[in-house]
Amino acid sequence: MAAMMQPQIILLKEGTDTSQGKAQVVSNINACTAVADAVRTTLGPRGMDKLIHDDKGNTTISNDGATIMKLLDIIHPAAKILVDIAKSQDSEVGDGTTTVVLLAGEFLKEAKPFIEDGVHPQNLIRSYRTASSLAINKIKELAVSIEGKSLEEKKSLLAKCAATTLSSKLIGGEKEFFASIVVDAVLAIGNDDRLNMIGIKKVPGGNMRDSFLVNGVAFKKTFSYAGFEQQPKKFVNPKILLLNIELELKSEKENAEIRLSDPLQYQSIVDAEWNIIYDKLDKCVKSGAKIVLSRLAIGDLATQYFADRDIFCAGRVTEEDLQRVAAATGGTVQTSVNNIIDEILGSCEVFEERQVGNERFNIFNGCPSGQTATIVLRGGADQFIDEAERSLHDAIMIVRRALKNSTIVPGGGAIDMELSRYLRQHARTIAGKSQLFINSYAKALEVIPRQLCDNAGFDSTDVLNKLRQKHASGEGSNYGVDINTGGIADSFANFVWEPAVVKINAINAATEASCLILSVDETVKNPKSESAQGEAAASAMMGRGQGGPAFRGRGGRGMRRR
C-alpha cells in the first residue's frame, strides 16, 4: 500500500489496488497520459522514431503509433484501452494511429482538473459525446468529394493523400516516388478488398529508388532440385498450371502393405512406382502448360523431366503466393493431374526469372485478371526495410479508404483548428457547466497542430495564435501548420490532404476511449474462488506471485518494454 502515497500512480503492485472514486479516475488518467507521452513525439512529417529493443534481441525502429503501442508492453488495465484504440484505428483506416492516442490522452488531460474539483464524470462524458457528434457532423460538412473525376485526376488526388501519409514516415524523402507506386498497386487490385492481394517483398541492398511495382505476382525463387538450371527462364504468353500435389518419386509401400512370395515380383512394384510418377508428369506436359507451380515439393526426377521438355517448374511455393498467382493469372489450384482442361490453366503476358539484389525472383507480369500487384522493396538495413513496409501499409490503407469513401479534408492540423473554433463558438450558446466541458474538448483538439509544431522545433504558441486568428476570420478554414517555413499555410492548396474517414474514426475512437476511462471509478479485485486459488497457487509456483485478473503480468511500473 506504500505505493498509494505517490502522487502519480502508474501501476500498483499486483492485487493491492483498492482505490475508489476520484483517486481511481485520476490514477487512470495519469496512466493514459504517460502512454500518450510515449508516442507524442512521433506525430507528423518531422516526428522522431522510436527504437524498441526486446529481450529476444530484436530491434524495431518505427514511428507508427500502432506498432509502438503493440511493442510497449503496457500492463496498466486502463492504459491498455489506448493500445486497443490504436489497433482498431490501424485495422479500420490504417493511418492516424498516433493521432488517436494523442487525442484520447489530451481529452483526459483536459478532464483531469474538473475531476479533481469534484465534477461528476458522467457530466463530462455527456458533454464529450455531444462535442464528438458535433465535430463529426462538421467534418462531413467540410469534406470535399473527389467523386466523378477522370482516372488521371483521381490518380493524382489519391497520390496526394498517399504522399501526406508518407511524409511523416521514414521514407518521407521519396514520398512522391512511393505514392505513385501505392496508387498503381491499389488501382491494380480494383474492387478486391483483400489486402493480401498486394504483396510486399523485401530485398536488402540497393537504394529505395530501386524498388519497383510488378503488375502481377513476384516471389523469391523456391528451393530447387538438380536440373533446374537447364529450364528456360523466360516465356511470353505461357500457360500456367497450379498444383497442390507432390511430384516426387514416392515409395508406394508408404500407402499400402505389400507381401511378396517371390523376390522377382519386387521389380514389378518398383516399375509401378516409376509408372505412377511418369504418368503424372506426362499429364502435366500434355496440358500444354509451360509453367508448373506446386505448393508441395517437385523432386529432381520431375525437375529434369520438365527441363528436357522446356517447361519451368517451382515447388514449395507458399500458400499466399500461390493464391495470388491464381487470382492474377485466372488459374485454379488443382489437387489432381487428371482431367486438366484449358479453363483451369492461368496465363500472363511475360514470365521471367530475374536477379534482384542477391536473390532470384520469379516474376509474372501483365496478368489478365489484374487483381493483384507486388511491390518489391529495396533498401539498406533490415530494420529500415521493415519500417518502409509498415509505412507502405499505411499508405495503401489510406488510398483504399479514399477510393471507397471519396471525401477528403485538409491535413496539417487545419481540420482540427477549424473543429476547435466551431466547438468554442457552439459552447458560447450553451448555459451551464457543459459550456466549460465542450470548451475543454475544443482546446484538446488543438493538440494535433501544437504537436506538429513542437516536433518540427517551431514555436507552437506563436503558430497556434496565427492559426486561431486565421480561422476566426472565417476565411482561413483550410489553414494548417506549414512544416517547411514554421508559419501557417493553406493545407488544401498545398495538397496536404487526408481522407475524412481517418479524422472521423480518430475522433470517435478517442472520445469513446476517454469516456470509458472516465466512467471507471473503482478497480475490484476478484474474490478468491476455488479456480482463482488454484490459478494463484500455480502462478506462485512459477514464481510470479498472485493478483487479481486485471493485473496479471508483472507488478511494478506502468510501461515495460519487452
Query: Quick one: which of 70, 50, 69 has its CA closest to 60?
Result: 50
Distance CA 483, CA 239 (A): 52
Distance CA 11, CA 76 (A): 6
Residue 486 CB coordination number (10 Å): 14
Distance CA 20, CA 25 (A): 8
Query: φ and ψ at 376, to 5 degrees?
Result: -100, 115
Provide the H-helix boundaries in 175-264.
Answer: 175-188
From the candidates 95, 394, 454, 482, give the one annotated as an active-site residue: 394
Looking only at the bridges linking them, the beta strands covering 350-356 and 234-236 are antiparallel
| Start-to-end Cα distance in the chain | 27
Distance CA 435, CA 437 (A): 6
From the candidates 33, 60, 67, 98, give the one annotated as an active-site residue: 98
Q: Which helix (H) or strand (E) holds 547?
A: none
Query: Quick one: which of 393, 415, 452, 392 has its CA closest to 47?
Result: 452
Q: Which helix (H) or strand (E) holds 518?
A: helix 500-518
Query: Quick one: which of 288, 291, 290, 296 has its CA closest to 336?
Result: 296
CA distances from 141 to 145, 352, 408 (A): 11, 51, 11
Distance CA 153, CA 266 (A): 72
Distance CA 522, CA 386 (A): 41
Residues 6+ away with beta carbon under 8 Å from 232: 310, 312
Distance CA 517, CA 341 (A): 61
Does residue 97 carry a catalytic annotation?
yes
The residue with cell 507432390 is 246
Can you say how many angstroms the Cα of residue 11 is from the centroid of all Cα atoms in its chain? 29
Does residue 17 carry a catalytic annotation?
no
C-alpha cell at 148: 466523378
Distance CA 101, CA 510 (A): 7
From the candidates 42, 97, 222, 523, give the one annotated as an active-site residue: 97
Does residue 64 carry a catalytic annotation?
yes
The residue with cell 484505428 is 89
Query: Quick one: which of 278, 281, 287, 309 has its CA closest to 241?
Result: 287
Distance CA 29, CA 329 (A): 54
Beta-ladder partners of 144: 408
Does residue 98 carry a catalytic annotation?
yes
Long-range contacts, stretch 543-549, CB < 8 angstroms, 24+ apart: 545/14, 545/15, 546/14, 546/15, 547/13, 547/14, 547/15, 548/14, 548/15, 548/17, 548/523, 548/524
From the candidates 17, 64, 95, 386, give the one annotated as an active-site residue: 64
Distance CA 407, CA 425 (A): 25
Starting from the edge strand earliest in sequence, which strands make up the sheet with 350-356, in order?
216-220, 359-365, 350-356, 234-236
Q: Residues 176, 163: contact at Cβ < 8 Å?
A: yes
- Residues that are catalytic: 64, 97-98, 394
